[in-house]
A and B are shown apart, each in its own frame.
Chain A
Amino acid sequence: MKTLKEDAQSVGNILIEVGALLMSSGANSNRIRVTLERMARGLGYGTELLITHRALMLTIVEKDHQHFFSRLKRTSPHGVNFSIVSGISHLSWNVLEQKWTVAQISEEIQRLKAIPHYPRLVVLALVGMAGAAFCNIFGGGYIEMSVAFVATVAGLFVRQEAMRVKFNPYLCVFFAAFTASFIAGLAELFQIGAQPDKAFATSVLFLVPGVPLINSVTDLLEGNIQNGMVRAISGLMIAFSIAIGLFSVRMILNF
């Protein structure tokens, strides 16, 4: 009987770490399943998976079916990071085609985790531009676009700070929506620009839960009904937090 190079326990541990990382970086359920199965095949194991939004369960089976290893792991809170999704996609092919070892995989995962985010000022400026862009798309002029830019930058800054001190994620969205729409609402109160309501409505669009909602539809289409529903609800919760932020401002400014 051929003995495997890697023992089941270390393979299982590394695979479930990859899966949890993918889930929290914004990959859909099918991608997680396919990636883990590919990596396990490369390492000479069979896999069975249970994927949920906040926990993963993995069983890997040796080809002779004598040994298996099971583990349950809770995924960390979700923060979209496509550099990690992209990097793990490369990694999984390297495991299959170039027979990477567990040590190499874990080294690569450490490298991927350490990839820095874009500088904060760049993020603030470009997301602000995105806010202005939304305002243009919905028919705002340049004055409204500037208002949307300022509101978006302020809102994103507040969200980053709230995340840093670890507020509840929905509360972070609420704070951000409140700040952004308050600034845009002041512009509406003082009648800056021809259609200040456009700036008000688009100032919070940088918060739209695009990744949960689109992944939700993809999951539902691919038959991962439970995960699709969970993602849809979590997207709706974010949308609801945005709405509450908007209405608080409308009540305060009274229009």
Chain B
Amino acid sequence: MLFDIIIKSFWSGIAAIGFAILFNVPRRTLLAIFTLGALGGLIKFTAMKLDVGIVFSSFLGATVIGFIAIQMAHMRKSPPLVFSIPSVIPMVPGFFAYKMMLGLIALTNMENTDTYIQTLIETVNSGAKMMFVLISLGTGVAIPMLLTRKESIKKSQYNKKKKAVT
């Protein structure tokens, strides 16, 4: 079971790298993005195994990514979003979006009341999951910046030395 989670986390990292390349990130950030993607996956899948639920699991994963992305931003000299966006994309609930769209189309030509209600329940469920996972990903990534209440990471507490320069 643990092995399964680690394998999935590894592939989350690979997916993050794929998107990083698509978004043309600077080369020095690639390894950090792989690590962050895998770490986010590890946290999300572990939380889901512990029955936390997909929305809160994704939120946990994204929040950790958000915090570490700030540290990485100092180490690799790039803004945090360069690290956080490719890393959370493997958690984007594409499968639920697909199931919701599938359900919506199925509903357009269905007459039997019982199957209609069954499909409706599944569609609404997938759609709600998709929406809340997306919101939790966006919020999770933004939380570190909201908590430090600074406009730029360069002014945050992690970097007091440079603050003296300005």
Contact = CB atoms under 8 A, between A and B. Distances in A.
Q: Main SS of chain A's interface residues? A: helix
Contacts of B138: 213-214, 216-218, 220-221
A123 interface: yes
Nearest to A89: B79
B79 A126 contact: no
Interface residues of B, number: 51
Contact of A201 (B89, B98, B152): B98
A117 B82 CA distance: 15
Interface string B139-160: 1011000100001101000000
A122 interface: yes
B19 interface: yes
B18 A131 contact: yes
A90 B162 CA distance: 14
B85 A133 contact: no
Interface residues of A, number: 55
A126 B23 contact: no
A128 B18 CA distance: 8
Q: Main SS of chain B's interface residues? A: helix
A81 B26 CA distance: 9
A217 B88 CA distance: 13
A129 B12 CA distance: 11
A85 B18 contact: no
B26 A82 contact: yes
A27 interface: yes
A80 B11 contact: no
Contacts of A89: 78-79
Interface string B58-101: 00000000000000000001110110011011101011011101
20 contacts: A80-B24, A81-B24, A82-B23, A82-B25, A83-B26, A85-B82, A86-B25, A118-B24, A123-B22, A127-B21, A129-B15, A131-B18, A133-B15, A136-B8, A137-B8, A213-B92, A213-B134, A221-B138, A221-B139, A246-B102
A-B interface, 6 closest residue pairs, ranked by CB to CB distance from nearest: A217-B138, A130-B18, A133-B15, A133-B11, A243-B101, A86-B78
Given A133-B18, A201-B98, A214-B141, 9 more contacts: A90-B77, A118-B24, A130-B14, A130-B19, A206-B18, A217-B138, A218-B138, A246-B101, A247-B105
